[in-house]
Amino acid sequence: MPGASRDWNTLEIKRMTSDWGYSEEGLKHYTACRTIGPIVVDGRLDEPSWQHAVRSPRFEDLEEPDRPALFDTRAAVLWDDDYLYVGFWVEDPDVRATYTERDSMICEENDVEVFITGKDSYYEFELNPLGTIMERFYVWQNAYVEGGFDAHPEFDLQGTDLVDTLGGIKTGHAHPRGRRWAFRQWDLPGLKWAVHVDGTINDPTDRDRGWTAEIAFPWQGLKHLADGRSLPAREGDVWRMDFSRFHWIDEGGFRTCPGWAWNSHGIYDSHIPDRFSVIHFSEKAVGGSERRATGGEPEATSGETSSHEAQAGVIGSGHPTTVTRTRQAEQAEQTLRYRCKRTRDDLVVDGDLAEETWALAERSALFSDHTGARALFDTTAAMAWDDQGLYIGFWLEDRDIQATQAKPAHEVREDSHVGVLITGPGAYYDLAVNPLGATSEMCYIWKEAYRDDDRFHVPEFDLAVHRPEVLGGHTRTDISAMRWAFSDWRMPGLRAGVRVDGEPGRRHRVDRGWTVELALPWAGLKWLADGQDAELADGQVGGQIYEQTAAPVPGDIWRISLVRRQVIDQRGQRWQATWTWQPLVLVDGRMPETHLELELVSSGA
């Protein structure tokens, strides 16, 4: 009876979230509408029904409520007389997957997941970008006999090694209701699924857009979860479902796998039906005026792709599913020399990068790590020069801007920051700038050069006064690999401007990024000039070196490294990843022989 079904749903929502000590606070509600035409399960989500469907809010952290997923992830639900449909839109700059065998532990790599629960059991579905799936059916042990599951051969506990006991999760969390039987051999009859990938799988050198997933769950296959509810659903019926994503982040020598879900669970555990979202079913066709998704709004689709298709799995109906892959035409070559053009603009250096100079300047390829893998967030840079100085611009995508240090200090380097290293004979300069505009400057002089070169015998580098730190080499301990590190040296005339599109340190919002604009005066770089101009080459040494005003000339070559160090804060782990314009042999950027060659040219930018 419809009335009985609705009563059960109302009571069940209360019971599931209160009997076992879980709060109803923050539970997301969504209205699933009927389709307005046939759905072809091809993973593209391009039918009118999907275009009109209300998407969920951006997924939030599984453990930390209201903290948005690092990469945009959304879902939507539709239905007709035969199927319950779920669609996922997954942003992913580097699509990865390796498991191809059905019922592998898909959760050990990137996937999307759907859980559907009844009163005494629930179903788990996992899907990776290769189209590989894993299914499990769980029955609470205290309801196995009372709920009648023992009468069904598919849930027979005898004579099989395909039944596990699920208690707590590795985090130490155990559900108060106790243990569950996990039926690993159970398959939902008639299930269909497909994936469409906008990018290339397992190629970290290019930039992917993401992937979409489409699943059709036959209503009749959900009979063990119905508990008296109509199949298919009726107007006013309520089901509890969970929609989540697990995404491995492997950057800077650290690896972690945050979970993102439509509804946060407050703990790293997907198996909490009490925290599943509340799905209301409506007989209205999708696109009607009474659609609703708490906190959500329609979003544009990811756009067109030119693609080829590769068979990657088998759907429940026996037909092959397809994974669509797109290889980016652009394969940026590693840049070893940059032709830096003279600017005619009077640059303001406010961080906006709005002058024509920056619109016309040649941008770098996307920054990458020392293995050649593209940075997690898009990062590019460009440079220009005039008679007064060298100008550097950075464009930095950043979903989670991390910065706390607002004044110049060495601690700036513990925040996310950009770095500039400029090298000369016997020395190099290291600048860091964080999203708050704070700077940290270091001057390094090789011990051999300090001993033999009179250029460094000036008050600015007096060892007795400044007491610099001694920095050793990474592979050698002799004097040729050791440097004096002057942490209190400041470049005269340095200017730095930063513009932030976001709020640094605000965990509960999604940032867009930040831009940096730097002006490094030639007068402050004379001690690194390596005889680039005639006056410096004619023997100007010692304290006079800072009085030189002669500008560089076209054809001069400088060695420079542009670096981004990004704080990644996920799952209670906080570390820095390093990405650079030029390829590095090691993560350490203090290797002048790996720096970019900067050639000054006369053509206007």
| Residue 194 to residue 142: CA distance in whole angstroms | 36
Enumerate residues 6+ apart whose C-beta is below 8 A from 559: 422, 423, 424, 592, 595, 596, 597, 598
What is the average pLDDT across 472-490?
70
What pLDDT does residue 164 have? 72
What is the average pLDDT across 328-336?
42
- Say whether pLDDT at 22 is over 70: yes
- Say whether pLDDT at 309 is over 50: no
Provide the 3-class DSSP secondary structure of residue 523.
helix
CATH class of domain segment(s) 337-419+428-437+491-588:
mainly beta
Stretch among 137-151, 241-255, 570-584 having the lowest mean pLDDT: 570-584
What pLDDT does residue 30 have? 98
Provide the 3-class DSSP secondary structure of residue 440.
strand
Provide the 3-class DSSP secondary structure of residue 377.
coil
- Say whether pLDDT at 345 is over 80: yes
Q: What is the mean pLDDT of the chain?
A: 83
What pLDDT does residue 549 have? 44
What pLDDT does residue 35 have? 98
What pLDDT does residue 205 have? 86
What pLDDT does residue 347 have? 95
* Cβ atoms of 384 and 515 closer than 8 Å: no
What is the average pLDDT across 43-53?
98
| pLDDT tens track for 423-468 | 988 899 999 999 999 999 999 998 888 888 888 888 888 888 888 8
- Say whether pLDDT at 538 is over 70: no
- Say whether pLDDT at 533 is over 50: no
Tell me which DSSP letter residue 225 carries: H
CA dihedral 423, 428, 429, 435 (to 10 degrees): 70
What pLDDT does residue 399 have? 94
| Residue 121 to residue 556: CA distance in whole angstroms | 73
Break the chain into its structural domains and give their ranges.
2-325, 337-419+428-437+491-588
What pLDDT does residue 458 have? 85
How many angstroms separate the first and last alpha carbons of the chain?
75
| pLDDT tens track for 398-415 | 999 999 999 999 999 999
The fraction of the chain above a pLDDT of 90, given in percent, is 62
Dihedral sign, Cα of residue 565, residue 568, residue 569, residue 572: negative
* Cβ atoms of 106 and 128 closer than 8 Å: yes
What pLDDT does residue 19 have? 59
Q: Model's pTM, two decimal places?
A: 0.82
Of the pLDDT bands very low, low, confident and very high (cuts 50, 70, 90), residue 324 is very low
* Cβ atoms of 68 and 74 closer than 8 Å: no
Stretch among 21-25, 56-60, 359-363, 595-599 having the lowest mean pLDDT: 21-25
Most confident of 174-178, 306-310, 513-517: 513-517
| Residue 500 to residue 506: CA distance in whole angstroms | 13
Query: Which CATH number is 2-325 given?
Result: 2.60.40.1190
Stretch among 120-124, 275-279, 307-311, 495-499 having the lowest mean pLDDT: 307-311
| Residue 213 to residue 236: CA distance in whole angstroms | 27
What pLDDT does residue 515 have? 99
Residue 550 in tokens: 């002669």
- Say whether pLDDT at 350 is over 70: yes
What pLDDT does residue 476 have? 47
What pLDDT does residue 136 have? 95
Of the pLDDT bands very low, low, confident and very high (cuts 50, 70, 90), residue 159 is low
| pLDDT tens track for 206-216 | 899 999 999 99
| Higher-pLDDT residue of 336, 541 | 336
Of the pLDDT bands very low, low, confident and very high (cuts 50, 70, 90), residue 169 is low
* Cα–Cα distance list, 87 to 50, 76, 81, 148, 186 (Å): 8, 5, 17, 32, 23
Q: Which residue stretches of 22-65 are H helix?
A: 48-52
Closest CA to 442 of 412, 476, 481: 412
- Say whether pLDDT at 328 is over 50: no
Burial (CB count within 10 angstroms: exposed 0-12, middle 13-18, buried 19+), residue 196? buried
- Say whether pLDDT at 377 is over 70: yes
Closest CA to 249 of 145, 155, 375: 375
| Higher-pLDDT residue of 422, 476 | 422
